[in-house]
Structures are given as structure tokens and as C-alpha cells.
Amino acid sequence: MKRFLGTVLAVAVVIAVIDMILHHVILMDAYKQTMHLWRSEAEMKGLFWLIWAGYPVFASFFVWIFAKGYEKDKPGLGQGLRFGILAGLLVYTASNLMCYAVMPLPVAIPVAWFLGGMAECVAGGMVAGIIYKP
């Protein structure tokens, strides 16, 4: 259980760091150009705790699913890489297509969301593969 929780924490941190870089650095100008689509800054500040809560929730399910399919006779890093790619494709492909279909977004935003989400899942999978040992 200790190893599982440590893996969850490490994955949550990796995802949070990549997420912050994606949204607060790479996409900031695009978000400013589409301000009419987002909550006001005051509303977001009041709800920001949900983002911080989301990282460990996502990481918990991510690591739990990874652990369920862990194969003891195969290298963890490769399993983590494979899992991260598949999880990223599952989570970010359809959701970004659907967001683009219903929101007047410049195509660069969902493309960046997809690439950033894939980076988060691949990095998270690699971290899980390195740390988690059943």
C-alpha cells in the first residue's frame, strides 16, 4: 500500500507540473484570445481547489488501473510507457474531438490539449512503471 500511495503521489506531481506548463505558459495567449469561453478569473479562483483535487483523483485511478494489469515478468518502464500511451489515447482523443465540435475553439487549443494530455499520461505511465512494484 505504501508503494501504491507513493506512486500515486509521484504521478500526481508529474501530471500537475506538465499541466501547469501547458495551461499557464504554452496556452495562456490562446486562452486570453478566447476569454469569452471561460469562467471569469474570480470564479476560477474560487474553484481552483477542484483542479488540485483532480490531480490525486486522476492519479489514483491511473495507478490503480496500471497496477491491475502489471505483469511481474516484464520491465516496469516499458509497461508504464505502453499504459501511458493507451491511457492518453483513451482519455484525450474523443474528449478533444467532442470539445472542438461543441465549442468555438481555435484548432490549436484541442490539439495542444491532446498533445499535453498525451505527455502527461506517457510521463505518468513511465513514473508508475519505474516506481510501482507489486
Q: How many domains does the chain have?
A: 1
Provide CB contacts within 8 A for 18, sequence distance 6+: 116, 119, 120, 123
pLDDT at 128: 97
Question: What is the CA angle 58-85-116, rounded to 5?
Answer: 65
Q: Give the pLDDT score at 133.
A: 85
pLDDT at 94: 95
Sign of the alpha-carbon dihedral angle for 98, 9, 49, 29 = negative
Average pLDDT of 49-69?
A: 96
Give the pLDDT of residue 95.
Answer: 95
pTM surpassing 0.75? yes
Cα–Cα dist 20/56, whole Å? 15
pLDDT (0 to 100) of residue 41:
87
pLDDT for the residue numbered 30: 95
Helix crossing, 108-131 with 2-21: angle to 10°? Answer: 150
Range of the domain at 73: 2-131
Q: What is the pLDDT of residues 99-124, one digit of tens each?
A: 999 999 999 999 999 999 999 999 99
**Which pLDDT value is given to residue 134?**
80
pLDDT at 97 > cutoff 90: yes
For residue range 13-54, list pLDDT tens digits in order.
999 999 999 999 999 999 999 999 999 989 999 999 999 999
Report the distance separating Cα 99 and Cα 65, nearest Å.
25
C-alpha cell at position 99: 470539445
Rounded-to-integer distance, Cα 79 and Cα 129, Å: 6
Q: What is the mean pLDDT of residues 58-65?
A: 98
The Cα 55–Cα 8 span in angstroms is: 9
Q: Give the per-residue pLDDT at 1.
A: 85
